[in-house]
Chains A and B, each alone.
Chain A
Amino acid sequence: MRYTEGGFMTWGPRPREKMLQTITFLKCLECGAENSRPFMEWDFIFKVVGNEKCPRCGGSRSRIVNIYVPEKKESK
């Protein structure tokens, strides 16, 4: 165990927890394809967005299906 890295032997102040990027997941109402982008202010789950093109079919209407902060996967 390495006590010097973030353990109880660390003397300096703990680094401030970083704000992680929140991701908005959208589903195209025309082709059903899912895509994601960084969260934009006042996005909400089940909001129908009319001004963003679907990367697959080019459709302009999408629905926000989820909003969350992705977590880093621990390597096994």
Chain B
Amino acid sequence: MEKGLSNVFTAFLSPSAAGGENILSIIISFVWLLMFMVFFLYPSFGQRMQLSYMLRDLERKLNKLKSIKDEIRQTAIDTIKKVGKPDFDPTPEVDRLSEFFVIPPESMDPYGIVYKLEHILEIGELSYENEVKKLAPIAEEHQVKTLTNLVEIARGINTLYRVVRHYYLLGKKTSNIYLVLQIQMIMPQLVEIAEAYRMASVAFSQGQPIGDSIGVLVAAKLSDVENKKRYTVARDTMVEELELENRKVYVVRAIGPGGTVGRPGEAVKNLVESLPENPKMIITIDAGLKLEGEESGKVVEGVGVAIGGPGVDKYKIEEVAKQRNIPLYAFVIFESIQEAITPMRESIAKAADVVLQKVRKLLTEKVEEGGVVVVAGIGNTVGVG
């Protein structure tokens, strides 16, 4: 028996007397030939294999996006139930609002597009807020605004998930490696944004200040004095009149502590038009996106209007400033996109005092005593009263 086995191994491994070949080397040669034939007759085989690896990787990340989306949806539903105490299940309504859309105006003829865009955005914002109000009947006004932001986050992550799933399925259906490659390349950033959305949902479910609140926080700290006059100048936006370094300062900011950005453009325009004399300058303070490698909370200054978003507010301030020849100064506090929508970090919060000093310095250097200045704090005022 043992001898028989040893004969088999000998035949398998040892070269035969005739041609110097054994069975193993013949099998290996055959496999090589087969693979060569496959690659020769089916040239896209390698690409197919690569595509299947990429689709598997994409599928894993898509599942992660789905789990984050479901977590945010649940946070929104639970918070609405807890804060608003509706006498019905808000789940179907939250799902409906997650699919809500806003169609931007036609830009073929750009004349008047800013005001058309403003009109559409305003309708969208108002109807969204009213829908959330119906879901949370006993919530206070500021809580309704914050809950609206929370449902908007659920809508944002839902859109992100649907778009990624669309490209994944389209790439799979058409076996288009270039389509899959593009979405796979940006997937790490998309997952990071989704993680930021997840943390933002926690911040909004509790009414915590976020990184984007820094502009409003600076304005609030600037106007944190005894003798001041306060009034509303546009929807969700107020003005506080005060004396600072013997200058008359009008501080514009969104009304907190609910999550809203207000209407800073409309507010500054209305304010400037109502003043008896032109302001000597308009200062805007906002959070700005940092580049990789830059430190969060760094304060930089420049000229222009520091406002992000769709551009309506920026346009209005630029327009009124141009008409009346008012200089525009801006302070920006650097932060990442993740930091902008997640609970405020120490380095960003502490930058508020640095900006305050810089604003005071700018006032004393560029504006004579008795002069009028408008300072606008831009951003979401969640968690800032």
A-to-B contact residues, CB < 8 Å:
16-17, 19-20, 22, 39, 41-47, 66-71
Known pairs A42-B143, A45-B384; A22 contacts B195 (CB<8 A): no
Interface residues of B in 323-344 (CB under 8 A from A): 343-344
When distances are taken between beta carbons in the complex, the residues of chain A under 8 Å from B209 are 44-45, 67-68
A17 CA / B343 CA spacing, docked (Å): 13
The answer to whether B346 touches A46 (Cβ under 8 A) is no
A-B pairs with beta carbons under 8 Å apart, 21 shown:
A20-B343, A22-B208, A22-B343, A39-B208, A42-B206, A42-B207, A43-B383, A44-B257, A44-B383, A45-B217, A46-B220, A46-B384, A46-B385, A47-B385, A66-B349, A67-B209, A68-B344, A68-B349, A68-B350, A71-B345, A71-B346
A16→B71 CA distance, assembly (Å): 14
Residues of B within 8 A of A42 (CB): 143, 206-207
CA distance A41 to B224 in the complex (A): 23
In the complex, B317 has a CB within 8 A of chain A: no
In the complex, which residues of chain B have a beta carbon less than 8 angstroms from the beta carbon of A19?
A: 199, 202
Which listed residue, A17, A39, A44, A69, touches B345 by the CB 8 Å rule?
A69
**B256 cross-chain contacts in A, Cβ below 8 A:** 44
Contacts of A41 in B (CB 8 A): 206-207
B217 cross-chain contacts in A, Cβ below 8 A: 45
User: A16: which B residues are within 8 A, CB to CB?
Assistant: 195
B232 close to A (CB within 8 Å) = no
Tell me, yes or no, whether B127 is within 8 Å of chain A by CB: no
Question: A67 with B383: in contact, given A22-B343, A41-B207, A46-B224 (CB under 8 Å)?
Answer: yes
A67 to B385, CA, bound (A): 12
Closest A-chain residue to B345, C-beta based? A69
Q: Are B384 and A69 in contact (CB under 8 A)?
A: no
A47 touches B257 (CB 8 A): yes
A47 to B209, CA, bound (A): 13
Interface membership of B144, Cβ < 8 A: no
Chain B residues whose C-beta falls within 8 Å of the C-beta of A20 in the assembled complex:
343
Size category of the B interface is: 20 to 34
> Which residues from A are CB-within-8-Å of B355?
none
| B348 interfacial by beta-carbon distance below 8 Å | yes
Q: Could you say which of A43, A47, A68 has the most chain B C-beta atoms within 10 Å of its C-beta?
A: A68
The distance from the CB of B192 to the nearest CB of chain A, in whole angstroms, is: 9
Q: How near does chain B come to A66, taking the closest CB pair, in angstroms?
A: 6
B residues whose Cβ falls under 8 Å from a Cβ of A: 143, 195, 199, 202, 206-209, 217, 220, 224, 256-257, 343-350, 383-385
Q: Is B346's CB under 8 angstroms from A17's CB? A: no
| Nearest-neighbor residue (CB-CB) of A42 within chain B | B207
Residues of B within 8 A of A71 (CB): 345-347
For the complex of A and B, the 8 pairs showing the least CB-CB separation, nearest first, are: A44-B257, A68-B349, A46-B385, A41-B206, A71-B346, A42-B207, A44-B385, A68-B344
Residues of chain B contacted by A68 (CB below 8 angstroms): 209, 343-346, 348-350
Q: In the complex, what's the smallest C-beta–C-beta distance from B268 to chain A, in angstroms?
A: 23
B383 neighbours in A (Cβ, 8 Å): 43-45, 67
Is B206's CB under 8 angstroms from A17's CB?
Answer: no
Residue pair B143, A67 in contact (C-beta under 8 Å):
no
Beta-carbon contact of A69 and B346 below 8 Å? yes
Which of B345, B347, B383 gathers most chain A CB within 10 Å? B383
**A17 with B384: CB separation less than 8 A:** no
In the complex, besides A67-B344, A67-B349, A69-B346, 11 extra interface pairs with C-beta distance below 8 angstroms are: A17-B199, A22-B343, A39-B208, A41-B206, A43-B207, A44-B256, A46-B384, A47-B385, A68-B345, A68-B346, A68-B349
A39 touches B206 (CB 8 A): yes
Rounded to whole angstroms, the CA-CA distance of A17 and B64 in the bound complex is 14
Residues of B within 8 A of A69 (CB): 343-346
Chain A residues with CB under 8 A of B208: 22, 39, 43, 67
Give, as a whole number of angstroms, the nearest-CB distance from A67 to chain B: 5
Query: Inside 8 A of A44's CB, which chain B residues have their CB?
Result: 207, 209, 256-257, 383-385
Query: CA–CA, A64 to B209, complex, Å?
Result: 12
Residue of A nearest to B195 (CB): A17
Write out the residue numbers on chain B whose beta carbons fall within 8 Å of the beta carbon of A17. 195, 199
